Every structure is written in C-alpha cells, then in structure tokens.
Amino acid sequence: MSADLKDLSLKAMPEQLAQLGQKLNRYRIILFVVFVAGVYGFISYKIFVLSNPSTDTNNVSTQVTSLTPHIDVQIVDQLKSLQDNSVNVQALFKNARQNPFAE
C-alpha cells in the first residue's frame, strides 16, 4: 500500500501525466473522431427533442378556446335590424358581399 501512496504524490503527477500523454498520442485521431461523433450526436439529440415538444391536451384546449372568436347575439340582431331599416346600409352590405376588398 505504501507504493500506491507514493504513486499518488503531487511531485510525481507531471511525470505520470507526460507518460499518459505519450500513450494517448498514438490514439489521437481515433479520440478526435469519437469526440466529433459525440458532439454531433448530442446536437442531433437536442434538435430532435426541441423539434418534437410534448403537448399537454389541457393546455392546448385552453389556448384554442381563448383564441376562438365569440360573436355577441345582440350585436348580430342589431346589425340585422339596421340592415332591414336603412337603404344605405343594405347597399353597403351588398357591396361588401360582392367585393370585400372595395373601400
């Protein structure tokens, strides 16, 4: 056990790192390819996760109901009565139905 403790001393650390560097030097191309593949895989995974978000049906239904327009029945009745009573309004409605982009 004393030999193991001697190998863990701070003075021997630079020499051990140099030996490790020499051993890894012959595998540098393979290690680089593995690193690039790992980065590519991580980016692909993040793109997949962010492009397919999970949907909550309750959240979607509340957003859809909040976006649906609601027309008041009293306003519809008032517009119908105005259309029936006024010739100018009748002409305006007919013109708008025939050409909705006319001013």
- The pair of structure tokens assigned to 9 is 């001393």
How do residues 81-95 score in pLDDT, each as one tens digit? 776 666 666 666 777
- The pair of structure tokens assigned to 83 is 């259309």
Confidence band for 103, pLDDT divided at 50, 70 and 90: low
**Cβ count within 10 A of residue 54:** 5
Confidence band for 75, pLDDT divided at 50, 70 and 90: confident
For the four alpha carbons of 59, 62, 63 and 64, in that order, the dihedral sign comes to: positive
* Residue 56, pLDDT above cutoff 90: no
- The pTM of the full predicted model, rounded to 2 decimals, is 0.40
How do residues 5-30 score in pLDDT, each as one tens digit? 556 677 788 888 888 888 888 888 99
- The pair of structure tokens assigned to 59 is 């959240």
Q: Where are the beta strands (DSSP E) in 1-103?
A: none
Dihedral (Cα; 8, 12, 17, 20), 10-degree rounding: -80
